[in-house]
Amino acid sequence: MMPAQDDATWFQTTFDGIRREIGKAIVGQDDVVEKVLVGLAANGHVLLEGMPGLGKTLLVRTLAQTLGLTFSRIQFTPDLMPADVTGTNVLTHESGGARAFEFRRGPIFAHLVLADEINRATPKTQSAMLEAMQERHVTSGGKRFELEEPFLVMATQNPVEQEGTYPLPEAQLDRFFFKLLVPYPSKADLAGIVERTTGQEGSEPTQVADRDAVLRLRKIAREVPIAQNVLDYGLSIVVGTHPEGEGSTSIAARYARYGSSPRGAQSLVTAGKIAALLAGRFNVSKDDLRQMARPALRHRVLLNFEAEADGVTADKFLDEVVAQVDAADRDPIRA
Amino acid sequence: MTPFHVAFKRFRTRVRLVRSWKSMAVGTSVGASAALILAFLDWRNLVLVDPIHLIGVTVAGLVIGGLLGLVRRVEDEDLARSLDRRAGLEDRLATALEHEGDVDGFGVPLQDDADQRLSKLEPRRVYPVRLTRWHGGAVGLMACAAALFLLGNTPLLLSTEEQAERKELQRAGQAVERVLRPIEKAKAAMTEAEKATLRDLERFSRELEKGRVTKEAALQKANELMAEAERLAAERFQAAEKNLLDAQTARQKLEQDALERAGLPRDAGEMAKATPEQLQTQRQELSRQLEELAKEMEAAKANGSDSESLKRLQEQVSKLQESLQKLELSKEAQETLEKLRNDPRFKELQELAQKLQQQMQQSQESGQPQISPEDLEKMREQLEQLMEQLKDDEAMQEYLQALKEALENAQAGGQGQSVATALAALFNLPGGNGRSQDDSFQDTGTINKLDQEAEGKGKTAPTSITGARDDERGTESYIEIKAPTKTGSRTSVPYRNVLPNYKKRAEEALNRRDIPKRHEKRVREYFQDLEKR
């Protein structure tokens, strides 16, 4: 077998192994689990939006467990200060009696960070968190502290109880690779959850990969080739969200206030590459991009009041954009 | 691994075939649309179209479309993308094609994967030949064009009278076409005005055949065309006459050249116009006068006449001797000219010129073509042979050229006259060969001539057959005219007996608005005037 083919097979096997282990703790939510893993393989942070108690924290913790990575959880509250997230300098007494400032690393210094209810923190704290997410290092007292790779932040936010919250500004939202909507479990899934949590303890997830494996997953994902026409298709979806300009779609002209940024295109293509590998292919297809359009772009488009009045959600909007791009994408040989 | 360019070959061929199939439908749709427009224009009488035109336009569209589909280039990139879509290959081929030859990363497994998938595909399954909207459209448009054309041409929607009128006009159209057929062959030698008239005639013929003109409009048009044909014929005859004059001048020059070559003065021909008998008488008379003068001179010398008288007598003798000498020269000139005129080729030309002149005169006098096209053709051939034989003789060539031009003009004039005559006969028009309005068109064609003159069998008497007749047996074209009355003859039914009936029909026609508004007054006044008489 060729090395590249080995890589692809290893990617799939590892990914499936992690997924399977997570499945031991998380019942249902297959799509969310898969997309979180895609975010992990793509080196992108994930924003999870869902009601409390849907297993978001458990998901992150299990993920850390299966990968053997460090995990920390930050519960965002209005009084949370940036130093509470990034860490702070404290005065310490050294053995010789000397005093010195020592940087105490905050909870952000972990491989997997769960930023729970991120929208409850003040913008100042949110900024500190998001800056660290973007830059992948923390600067304190003039010193720079690198965040060790892999570094993945999974932020959650509650779609209800918006009073007293600080919704993330668009620029900050754009830093998340994916925004995943955590749905209610189905009746069957719910039965599984109840059975698993109220009955005898089942098998615990075990570590099936490590830090190096995650880094290798990222490396392999980047090597997947994409054809020019497929790339054009993905870019058409991205520019199709723009309310004006070349490639704008009619629905965007009507409902969008702001369209996706270039980061959206990067996320879409990277996610497409991983989806291709998961599908056992060595190339990105248009279908991969189609599949990844919602999680990669839904938090990057800002809809106007008319959309809200018409009940057009970001997902519906993106579906229509994709449909319009599909309609324009014709068979080059019309025979 | 097979290179994609090679692996695509069978798909490329299939694409060409399927494209051609679709392009044929597109081309046919375009052609049928053009046919539909033509059918509409035909229906509105703006252009006259035959079914063959509609079929031709549609078939041309089909062929052009099919060819374009076949020759249009099929790019590998397009083919790869198309195959990805149609065969559900999830963009494998397009990506593999872009990374063909790439051995890094996923290049090799990607190409292997694509190649394997491609080998399982069947071109006819990926590109099936099927009926598209274009095919349906083409059929629909063809049906519409055919329906519209039939709608414009079917006599079923017309009343019985209109159908009868259309049939009559169609017969007239066929007759005009028969008249035009031989003329069209000579199109190359026509002037622009003649060509324009011919085009008008052709259009008129087709309008008649399709029954797209009213009887009145047909009459008006026929009248105009006849006048034009007569005018053009007259112009041609005038030109032919001028050519004949030129030929005469050229012939005189030819004779003068012959005299000069014989060492005689160029004006000797004038003297040589007298007959040999006249020359003999003149010679005898001059000899007698000379003898008398000689005697007179001797007598004068003997009588001792004065020198003045002798000188006068001497001058008279000199003059007589000079006249006698000229007479001798004219004899020689006559002999020279006689020799020239007896030359069989020259004789042939002379006869040709005479025949042409005579027949042209007859044509103009009778108003009918007297020279048959066969005769003219024979003359032309004769002339061309002579031109070939005498090509070294410049003077002869000039003469021949003038004759040839005369012949051509006469030929064209004759054709114009034929057209005018035929139109007059077909539409009961005054003019042409001088027929009256009472003549009516019946038919044209050929008859077998018998030894005895054929007896016309018409519904009304008398029946006359006109046209140039050949004395020999055989077939020839004819126009049969059956007329209720002839110019100068009288009908046995008093017009008062038939007037009420005709007037009633005229009033009915006026009530039905069959008669154009501008002519209504004329029709009323005509019948009122008849009643007053």
> In this predicted model, what pLDDT tens digit does every residue of B19-73 receive, in sequence order?
999 999 999 999 999 999 999 988 887 888 888 999 999 999 999 999 998 888 8
pLDDT at B399 over 90: no
B91 → closest Cβ in A4, A285, A333 = A285
DSSP A118: G
Non-local CB neighbours of A83 within 8 Å, separated by 6+ positions: A106
By CA distance, what is A2's nearest residue in B? B109
* Residue B165, CA atoms < 13 Å, CB-side half-sphere: 15
How close A288 gets to chain B, by Cα (Å)?
9
By CA distance, what is A287's nearest residue in B? B90
Q: How confident is the model at residue B445 (pLDDT cuts 50, 70, 90)?
A: very low
B332-355 mean pLDDT = 74
Residues B120-145 have pLDDT tens digits of 888 889 899 889 899 999 999 999 99
CA distances from B56 to A199, A203, B47, B207 (A): 86, 82, 16, 20
Angle ∠(A28,A33,A37) on CA atoms, nearest 5: 160
B317-333 mean pLDDT = 75
When mean pLDDT is compared over A22-26, A103-107, B51-55, the highest value belongs to B51-55
Chain A residues inside the 8 Å CB shell of B132: none
pLDDT at B317 over 50: yes
CA–CA gap between residue B80 and residue B412 (Å, rounded): 68
CA–CA gap between residue A286 and residue A291 (Å, rounded): 9
CA distances from B108 to B104, B113, B115, B509 (A): 7, 9, 10, 92
Angle ∠(B429,B434,B438) on CA atoms, nearest 5: 50
A53-62 mean pLDDT = 82
CA–CA gap between residue A9 and residue A21 (Å, rounded): 18
Verify whether the Cβ–Cβ distance A284 to B94 is below 8 Å. no
Q: DSSP states of B163-229 as a string? A: HHHHHHHHHHHHHHHHHHHHHHHTGGG--HHHHHHHHHHHHHHHHHHTT-S-HHHHHHHHHHHHHHH
The answer to which of A222-226, B52-56, B417-421 has the lowest mean pLDDT is B417-421
Verify whether the Cβ–Cβ distance B22 to A229 is below 8 Å. no
Q: How confident is the model at residue B384 (pLDDT cuts 50, 70, 90)?
A: confident
Domain A224-328 indexed as CATH 1.10.238.10 = no
Q: How confident is the model at residue A332 (pLDDT cuts 50, 70, 90)?
A: confident
Verify whether the Cβ–Cβ distance B82 to A331 is below 8 Å. yes
- pLDDT score of B153: 79
A282 → closest Cβ in B19, B81, B110 = B110
- pLDDT score of A316: 92
B444 with B479: CB under 8 angstroms? yes
Strands A71-75 and A112-116 come out as parallel
Verify whether the Cβ–Cβ distance A334 to B22 is below 8 Å. yes
Total length of chain A: 335
Chain A residues inside the 8 Å CB shell of B110: 225, 282-283
B98-120 mean pLDDT = 85
B242 with B232: CB under 8 angstroms? no
A–B CB contacts, 8 A cutoff, strictly below: 85
Q: DSSP states of A259-278 as a string? A: ---HHHHHHHHHHHHHHHHH
Which two three-digit tokens encode residue B314?
A: 């001497």
Total length of chain B: 533
Verify whether the Cβ–Cβ distance A227 to B19 is below 8 Å. no
pLDDT at A26 over 50: yes
- pLDDT score of B434: 42
What interface predicted TM-score (ipTM) does this complex get?
A: 0.84
B94 → closest Cβ in A229, A287, A335 = A229
Find how far residue B229's CA is from the centre of its chain.
11
Q: How confident is the model at residue A272 (pLDDT cuts 50, 70, 90)?
A: very high
pLDDT at B13 over 70: yes
The answer to which of A182-191, A247-256, B122-131 has the lowest mean pLDDT is A182-191
CA–CA gap between residue B57 and residue B50 (Å, rounded): 11
The answer to which of A116-130, A286-300, B200-214 has the lowest mean pLDDT is B200-214
Q: How confident is the model at residue B325 (pLDDT cuts 50, 70, 90)?
A: confident
Q: Which residues pair with A75 in a beta bridge?
A: A116
CA–CA gap between residue B482 and residue B480 (Å, rounded): 7
- pLDDT score of A293: 92
Domain boundaries, chain A: 3-198+206-217, 224-328
B480-505 mean pLDDT = 65
Using CB atoms within 10 Å of the CB of residue B41, give its burial: 0 to 12 exposed, 13 to 18 middle, 19+ buried: middle
Rg (CA), chain B: 42
pLDDT at A255 over 50: yes
Q: If one looks up domain A3-198+206-217 in CATH, what number appears?
A: 3.40.50.300
How close B35 gets to chain A, by Cα (Å)?
25
The answer to which of A78-82, A306-310, B105-109, B211-215 has the lowest mean pLDDT is B211-215
Q: How confident is the model at residue A232 (pLDDT cuts 50, 70, 90)?
A: very high
Give the helix ranges, DSSP H, for A68-169.
Answer: 82-86, 123-135
CA–CA gap between residue A31 and residue B212 (Å, rounded): 77
- pLDDT score of A274: 92
* Chain B interface disruption, residue of A282, A288, A329, most B CBs within 10 A: A282
Provide the mean pLDDT of chain B: 77
B263 with B442: CB under 8 angstroms? no
Diameter over CA atoms, chain B:
155
- pLDDT score of B63: 94
